[in-house]
């Protein structure tokens, strides 16, 4: 009898280990256990044995009441950069070969990141294929390893479709759209790309006349949202496979961590195969072998790393704000606020909107065209200053460090507009992203349950001492970044920002609050064999910001010494680097050799 690992390898293009078993045996096993046709061509086989050719899938499609009742029959394979050959069933094909899903080819997975890493130009299309593959793998793993869960092929297929369709609602440049653009065009709106995915899924099913019951349609949308309360009659743990609201560990994360890091040529060593094979369902939730606690922690840490170094890269963020300004200026023509609620109009809203605006000659789009031209010429919004904010202090900065406060302070320092025009509020952007391990400031592993090989049917939380004691106090932080739209305001904007920080230092002089740490009287050390020398105990259970930050005089409002520039500083632009460099060289030559005569100039030419 084949084990679940072999089946997993079979789903991963019938790997070398799986090749130890003859195809007929695997075919028979699959026919008995997964309802897959024993006549189906297996990955790795050039041609099926004579007399066992693959039948035409869904031969009588027009007579099918619900395609989810059909067995898994592989129609084709798709070669994926991360997972190798992905088997595509007849059922999944009905969803893939639609305008709604093909639209994802034209939405970049990482938004504007390709302006920094050219290789990061992969799309939501390939990511969704990867998530669907991992979703089927995990659901099939549970079905085979724990028959008592009574997982049906219908359950597996619904989870797979949810993984495939979970990002149907993403707009242009992915999270830029629902994170920055929608709040501008619809202030106070609760619209998210998850809601958009449900809208587009309903439209996909309706427009393509896919035979699926209303119950299954509702179930798939609930799986996309990770909301078990919508369909309480379904198995609870299935909702943690695609969108895990319990601890954030889901196949969506498994795929994008591998895919995104690979596409920027900095692959992170994360093994979803091991994690999936480690998973067990206990008490209606997904648990993992305690041996994999460190691997799971590494996944959470990898998420934080990607957000800090890639997703929130300072240059990519500058491009994001330029795109936001361009689309907001064109809202009168684009009508984005209307399109997000109309699936027929939303169907054609992709990254291609940038080229549409650039090629248009409408005067109403002149401002948007000018901004996009700046992006093309690398004349980007300039990153002026930044500061990493501790989690407990975030509200002080969020409420007080605003574009208006910075502009007011800057104009007070330069009242006559010397050297440039006066600053306006719209000239400054304040970026305040949060980066965390998956559960905001909390440790995600506090929400994961583990089992051991000695007690495989019992689960419990893992204390820090079980897997590591090297843990951050808070598992989240904010990065405060200031941008200016106009290069000649660079130094002045920084001066205004730092004046705001100085005013906050005066306003909150006692903000140097201590942060809790463990002291010797809180621990229970093992009694020493011999009497140890007496060490004075700490009187306070907190430590100051200075002690944590390291420097004397350091406060939450201290300036970043590595970014300091004069108030009159004006940075160069990459597009003008050559001219600027030539100018600098000519000046240095003149200083060293003195003024050149006309004869010398002619001779050098």
Question: Encoding tokens for residue 86?
Answer: 């992905």
Using alpha carbons, list the distances in angstroms from residue 46 to 23, 42, 85. Answer: 12, 9, 14
Report the b/e string of 176-211 with b at 16+ CB within 10 A: bbbbbbbeebeeeeebebbbbbbbbbebbbeeeebb
Sequence-distant (6+) residues with CB within 8 A of 182 are 171, 189, 191, 336, 340
Burial of 22 (0-12, 13-18, 19+ CB in 10 A): exposed
Question: Can you state the angle between helices 251-263 and 124-145, rounded to 10 degrees?
Answer: 140
Q: Which of 83, 100, 127, 193 is catalytic?
A: 193
Measured distance CA(4)–CA(140) in Å, rounded: 8
Say if strands 285-289 and 280-282 run parallel, antiparallel, or are unpaired.
antiparallel
Nearest alpha carbon to residue 192 among 322, 320, 319, 340: 340
Does 193 qualify as catalytic in the annotation? yes
Using alpha carbons, list the distances in angstroms from residue 503 to 19, 68, 384, 404. Answer: 70, 63, 19, 14
Question: Encoding tokens for residue 139?
Answer: 């659901």
Using alpha carbons, list the distances in angstroms from residue 277 to 4, 134, 155, 308. Answer: 8, 11, 19, 29
- Beta-bridge mates of residue 23: none
Question: Encoding tokens for residue 10?
Answer: 């079979």
Active site residues: 193
């Amino acid at each position: 009898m084949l084990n679940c690992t072999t089946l997993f390898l079979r789903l991963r293009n019938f790997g070398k280990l799986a090749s130890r078993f003859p195809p007929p045996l695997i075919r028979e096993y699959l026919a008995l256990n997964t309802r897959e046709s024993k006549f189906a061509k297996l990955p790795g086989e050039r041609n099926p044995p004579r007399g066992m050719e693959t039948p035409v899938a869904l031969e009588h499609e027009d007579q099918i009441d619900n395609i989810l009742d059909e067995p898994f029959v592989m129609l084709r394979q798709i070669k994926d950069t991360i997972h190798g050959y992905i088997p595509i069933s007849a059922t999944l094909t009905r969803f893939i070969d639609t305008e709604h899903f093909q639209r994802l080819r034209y939405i970049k997975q990482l938004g504007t990141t390709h302006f920094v890493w050219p290789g990061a130009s992969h799309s939501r299309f390939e990511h969704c294929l990867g998530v669907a593959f991992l979703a089927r793998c995990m659901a099939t793993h549970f079905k085979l390893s724990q028959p008592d869960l009574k997982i049906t092929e219908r359950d597996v297929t619904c989870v797979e479709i949810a993984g495939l369709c979970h990002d149907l609602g993403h707009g242009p440049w992915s999270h830029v759209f629902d994170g920055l653009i929608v709040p501008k065009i619809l202030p106070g709106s609760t619209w998210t790309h998850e809601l958009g995915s449900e809208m587009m899924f309903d439209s996909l099913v309706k427009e393509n006349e896919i035979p699926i019951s209303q119950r299954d349609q509702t179930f798939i949308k609930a799986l996309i949202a990770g909301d078990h309360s919508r369909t309480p009659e379904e198995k609870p743990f299935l909702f943690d496979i695609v969108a895990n609201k319990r601890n954030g560990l889901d196949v969506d994360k498994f795929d994008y961590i591998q895919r995104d890091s690979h596409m920027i040529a900095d692959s992170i060593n994360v093994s979803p195969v091991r994690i999936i094979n480690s998973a067990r369902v206990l008490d209606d939730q997904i648990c993992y072998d305690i041996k994999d606690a460190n691997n799971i922690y590494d996944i959470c840490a990898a998420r934080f790393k990607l957000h800090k170094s890639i997703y929130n890269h300072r240059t990519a963020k500058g491009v994001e704000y330029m795109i936001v300004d361009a689309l907001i200026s064109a809202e009168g023509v684009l009508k984005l606020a209307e399109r997000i609620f109309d699936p027929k109009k939303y169907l054609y809203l992709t990254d291609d909107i940038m080229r549409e605006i650039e090629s248009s000659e409408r005067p109403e789009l002149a401002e948007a065209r000018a901004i996009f031209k700046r992006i093309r010429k690398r004349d980007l919004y300039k990153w002026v200053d930044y500061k990493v904010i501790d989690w407990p202090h975030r509200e002080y900065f969020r409420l007080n460090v605003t574009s208006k406060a910075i502009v007011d302070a800057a104009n007070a320092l330069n009242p006559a507009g010397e050297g440039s025009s006066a600053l306006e509020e719209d000239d400054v952007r304040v970026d305040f992203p949060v980066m965390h391990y998956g559960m905001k400031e909390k440790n995600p592993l506090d929400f994961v349950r583990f089992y051991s090989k000695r007690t495989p049917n019992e689960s419990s939380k893992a204390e820090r001492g079980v897997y590591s004691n090297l843990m951050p106090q808070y598992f989240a932080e904010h990065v405060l970044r200031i941008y200016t739209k106009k290069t000649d305001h660079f130094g002045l904007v920084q001066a205004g920002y730092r004046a705001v920080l100085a005013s906050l230092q005066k306003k909150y002089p006692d903000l140097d609050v201590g942060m809790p740490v463990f002291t010797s009287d809180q621990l229970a050390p093992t009694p020493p064999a011999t009497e140890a020398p007496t060490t004075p105990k700490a009187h306070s259970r907190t430590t100051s910001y200075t002690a944590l930050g390291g420097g004397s005089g350091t406060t939450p409002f201290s300036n970043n010494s590595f970014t300091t520039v004069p108030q009159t500083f004006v940075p160069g632009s990459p597009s003008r680097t050559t001219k600027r460099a030539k100018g600098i060289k000519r000046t240095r030559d003149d200083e060293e050799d003195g003024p050149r005569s006309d004869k010398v100039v002619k001779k050098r030419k």
